[in-house]
Structure 1
Amino acid sequence: MPDTLKQSVIDAGKWIDQQGWCPATGGNFSVRIDAKHAWVTASGKHKGALTPEDLLQVDLKGVVIGSEKRPSAETLLHMALYGLDADIGAVLHTHSVSSTVLSRLVDGDVLTLRGYEMQKSLSGNTTHDAEAAIHVFDNTQDMPELAAQLHQRWLQRPLQWGFLVRGHGLYAWGRDMAEARRHLEGLEFLFACELEMIKLGQR
């Protein structure tokens, strides 16, 4: 099972790299192993050229098990998501142009998407008439602080599908890697549409 899980991260990395959503060595990915552990990408690795050795096993506190390599800087946020929702099985953090730019244009803490057929790519959405709320957090290098903010908002109302970090990028998740990839792709499309609407003066 672990080898299959690792391969799912490697395959996701190649696909995400092909979309241009993780330039240089940016971004980080993870997949849940069990209730207390996950595989997470090592720091400084290009996401289009990941190998099994680039996946580190960590516990829910972000402590690496059985390796001297350093995990990605945002590992703590991945582990926070796994701790907040036992149904989350994979997390993908990307740095696309659309998510990075749009996150800086959002006023307030929530981006509300409405009127798009592609909202149905997000689990639980069955119509374009629904509103999809994507939370936005201010960027910081203090991961414990950002994890604490995530926890606080989640307690008010569980987040769905993903969230944005201003000027930084997108975190998307799902019950497994396939759903996480679908949510990532759907959100990236929706963000690109929102940017086009802004360019046309419709927002």
Structure 2
Amino acid sequence: MTQWEELADVKATLAKKGWFPATSGNLSIKLEDSPLHALVSVSGKDKTKSSPEDFVVVDRDGKTIESSLKPSAETIIHTRLYEVTDAGCILHVHTVENNLISALYKDEGQATFTDHELLKAFGLWEENAALTMPIVDNLHDLPALAEEMVRVVTPETKAILILNHGITVWGKNAFDAQKNLEAAEFLFAYRLAQFKYNLLKREDV
């Protein structure tokens, strides 16, 4: 399977889950490190549909390589994260759950999850393992937003929440990134259900 096909397969899977509402979201896969080249989703397309123009190759500055197609406006976030992490694939989606979690924990600047089997998806197998996701403000200046996201990255970070602007998740390849995203969304839904059924109080976490 080519990298294009891998990314198209992930896009189709996430689209079926309804995670790209109103053409939102973006995704990419790294083609090479030096110089940095990546396949990035094209701006403004309905991601529930597929075409040969779904993705475009960009360089480290987000400029397209031999194409007139317009890459996602948030391409700079992808290229900067490729520069500072070991990511091979980056996914950004908008769900009700990830927006709610970012709003609930905005004052703490991070959301932490413990005591759940799905933490193992992130390689956290210890009995008292904890997964912490940074939350950054939704800056409309995209280069500034990219730098803010880079600022909060640690070697353990695999996902960043943007306040009321979805989640950006990465992995060493497309399979890994999709796994991390699905696990994160499950943890969000579970946390919200804990609040709904009074299994957990807001002040306890």
Is the TM value for this pair above 0.5?
yes
Give 1:102's aligned residue: 101
Structure 1, unaligned runs of 5 or more: none
Q: 2:101, 2:111 within 8 Å by CA — same for their partners in 1?
A: no
* Cα displacement string for residues 157-191 of structure 1 (whole angstroms, at most 9, x for unaligned residues): 33522111010101111000000010010001001
Q: Do residues 198 (structure 1) and 195 (structure 2) align?
A: yes
Matches within 5 A, 1:61-80: 61-80=61-80
Q: Do residues 173 (structure 1) and 180 (structure 2) align?
A: no
Q: 1:41, 1:71 within 8 Å by CA — same for their partners in 2?
A: yes
Secondary structure, counterpart of 1:58 in structure 2: strand
* Cα displacement string for residues 60-115 of structure 1 (whole angstroms, at most 9, x for unaligned residues): 11111111121111111111110102x21000100011111211111321111111
Q: Do residues 49 (structure 1) and 46 (structure 2) align?
A: no
Output the CA distance in 2 between the equivalents of 1:39 and 1:52: 13
Q: 1:7, 1:52 within 8 Å by CA — same for their partners in 2?
A: no
Q: Do residues 18 (structure 1) and 16 (structure 2) align?
A: yes
Output the CA distance in 2 between the equivalents of 1:146 and 1:198: 30
Output the CA distance in 1 between the equivalents of 2:127 and 2:180: 15
Q: 1:15, 1:48 within 8 Å by CA — same for their partners in 2?
A: no
Output the CA distance in 2 between the equivalents of 1:162 and 1:50: 26
Q: 2:149, 2:160 within 8 Å by CA — same for their partners in 1?
A: no
Q: CA separation of 1:7/1:167 partners in 2, compared to 1, >3 Å: closer, same or farther?
A: same
TM-score using structure 2 length? 0.91
Output the CA distance in 2 between the equivalents of 1:152 and 1:194: 26
Q: 2:3, 2:29 within 8 Å by CA — same for their partners in 1?
A: yes
Structure 2, unaligned runs of 5 or more: none
Q: 2:159, 2:167 within 8 Å by CA — same for their partners in 1?
A: yes
Output the CA distance in 1 between the equivalents of 2:9 and 2:57: 18
Q: Percent identity over the alignment?
A: 36
Give 1:143's aligned residue: 142
TM-score using structure 1 length? 0.92
Output the CA distance in 1 between the equivalents of 2:3 and 2:52: 10
Output the CA distance in 2 between the equivalents of 1:5 and 1:51: 15
Output the CA distance in 2 between the equivalents of 1:70 and 1:99: 27
Aligned length: 197
Post-superposition offset of 1:16: 0.4
Q: CA separation of 1:110/1:59 partners in 2, compared to 1, >3 Å: closer, same or farther?
A: same
Secondary structure, counterpart of 1:189 in structure 2: helix
Output the CA distance in 2 between the equivalents of 1:165 and 1:197: 22
Q: Do residues 40 (structure 1) and 47 (structure 2) align?
A: no
